[in-house]
């Protein structure tokens, strides 16, 4: 079995204060072992890293995280832009968990870890001997999060799970698109990102609980459950009325008008979601006839006659451009917005002010764009302390921090700990 000098917990270089903040980032000193690939797991651990945690990404030697080679186009190096956008503030250790020496290294790392996040198919970690039951005996304070398609238990638990399957099987796709149209998935990976967010909040809650009790716990997070959690309006309609929800395009189940509407040169979005806004809208459009129309008297009436309502509104909106209408409605206090592409949103005056694109240095790519921090901490602002790592870039560094000599690391390498 691997033997190493016992370092003091969290004695590495990752407890830096955020630049200019004068105090450490909230999760500084917390050590995370990231045994995940693709999206939900890596996004979860990146969020922890952005908040100051020391995230060590454990990757299969040779190939690494599958997302390194994804997307179908090449950068200067081997890593895709998708990988580069989900793995900042991490260090990479290439470790063969199927190899006895590789597992021994991992078990040694667990002794001083606070959190393990993994997204292997249920049962794989147990076969490898690194499941929660095993690791919690080594480190009772360990918070261990398993991310999977359908959860660790249940009739579908052993199915391979990706965002597409979770969207379809959770019902998300049943309400996405337009009435009578073919199946449409949400344009963004709501199950993956939702699961990353839910797992992150559970991990932080469990860590806080451990600080009080001295005991960690197991977290079972799934894409399926996370996608279902977004169904609040839709399932409420079913539970309340018995009506199976159907796609509504850009419309909403709770109020009307609240959707995309056509102007003279294209679409924009607007919402008159209460009676006061509805009256203001009709006044601005000079459409007293709509106020007098019994089909549109109340929100319930407008919902019941949504198609006719939008047809009437678009007769007025067709007289001017979308940009003009957005400005006019906003001046009236009526929510409205233009239909941006992603480049337009990131490059907008507001997107740039909010720093939702950040440019960071990278050892191979030079400078790379990254999605900015979606929430801002004013007391301890997040920072990119590390660019997305190269595969195995920090293997020697991380093991040396844990007391292994160069000779010991060389012996492990000869035993296949770092080889495919």
Question: Which residues are designated catalytic?
Answer: 192
DSSP 64-113: -SGGGG-SSS--SSSS-HHHHTT--SEEEEE--TTSHHHHHHHHHHHTT-
* C-beta of residue 24 within 8 angstroms of C-beta of residue 59: no
Nearest to 390 by CA among 68, 31, 82: 68
Q: Identify the H or E element spanning 226.
A: helix 223-228
Q: What is the 3-state secondary structure (H, E, C) of 127-161?
A: HHCCCHHHHHHHCCCCEEEEEECCCCCCCCCCCCC
Using CA atoms, how far residue 128 sits from 64, 239, 406, in Å, is 18, 43, 27
Give dist(CA 364, CA 284) in Å, integer: 55
* C-beta of residue 258 within 8 angstroms of C-beta of residue 272: yes
Calculate ∠ Cα 88-90-96, nearest 5°.
125
* C-beta of residue 274 within 8 angstroms of C-beta of residue 299: yes
Give dist(CA 236, CA 19) in Å, integer: 45
Q: Which residue has the tokens 């990278």?
A: 362
* C-beta of residue 122 within 8 angstroms of C-beta of residue 148: yes
* C-beta of residue 104 within 8 angstroms of C-beta of residue 2: yes
């Amino acid at each position: 079995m691997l033997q190493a000098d016992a370092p003091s917990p969290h004695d590495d270089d990752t407890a830096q204060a955020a630049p200019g903040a004068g105090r450490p980032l909230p999760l500084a000193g917390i050590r995370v072992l990231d045994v995940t690939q693709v999206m939900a797991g890596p996004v979860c651990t990146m969020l922890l890293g952005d908040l100051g945690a020391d995230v060590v990404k454990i990757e299969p030697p040779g190939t690494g995280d599958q997302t390194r080679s994804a997307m179908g186009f090449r950068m200067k190096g081997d890593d895709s832009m998708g990988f580069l956008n989900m793995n900042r503030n991490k260090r990479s250790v290439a470790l063969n968990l199927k190899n006895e020496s590789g597992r021994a290294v991992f078990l040694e790392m667990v002794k001083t870890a606070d959190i393990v996040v993994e997204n292997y198919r249920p049962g794989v970690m147990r076969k490898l001997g690194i499941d929660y039951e095993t690791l919690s005996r080594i480190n009772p304070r360990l918070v261990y999060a398993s991310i999977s398609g359908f959860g660790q238990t249940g009739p579908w638990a052993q199915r391979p799970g990706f965002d597409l399957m979770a969207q379809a099987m959770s019902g998300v796709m049943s309400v996405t698109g337009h009435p009578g149209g073919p199946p449409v998935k949400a344009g963004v990976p709501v199950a993956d990102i939702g699961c990353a967010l839910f797992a992150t909040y559970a991990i932080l809650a469990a860590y806080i609980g451990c600080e009080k009790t001295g005991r960690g716990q197991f977290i079972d997070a799934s894409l399926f459950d996370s996608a279902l959690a977004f169904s609040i309006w839709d399932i409420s309609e079913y539970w309340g009325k018995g009506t199976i929800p159907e796609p509504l395009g850009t419309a909403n189940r709770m109020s009307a008008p609240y959707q995309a509407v056509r102007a003279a040169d294209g679409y924009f979005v607007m919402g008159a979601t209460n009676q006061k806004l509805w009256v203001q809208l009709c006044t601005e459009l000079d459409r007293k006839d709509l106020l007098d129309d019994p089909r549109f008297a109340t929100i319930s009436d407008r919902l019941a006659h949504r198609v006719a309502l939008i047809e009437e509104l678009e007769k007025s909106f067709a007289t001017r451009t979308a940009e003009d209408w957005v400005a006019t409605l906003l001046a009236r206090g009526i929510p409205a917005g233009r239909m941006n592409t992603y480049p337009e949103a990131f490059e907008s005056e507001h997107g740039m002010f909010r720093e939702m694109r950040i440019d960071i240095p990278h050892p191979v790519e030079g400078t790379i764009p990254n999605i900015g921090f979606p929430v801002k901490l004013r007391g301890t602002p997040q920072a990119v302390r590390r660019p997305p790592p190269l595969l195995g870039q920090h293997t020697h560094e991380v093991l040396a921090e844990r007391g292994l000599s160069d000779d010991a690391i060389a012996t492990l390498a000869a035993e296949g700990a770092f080889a495919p």
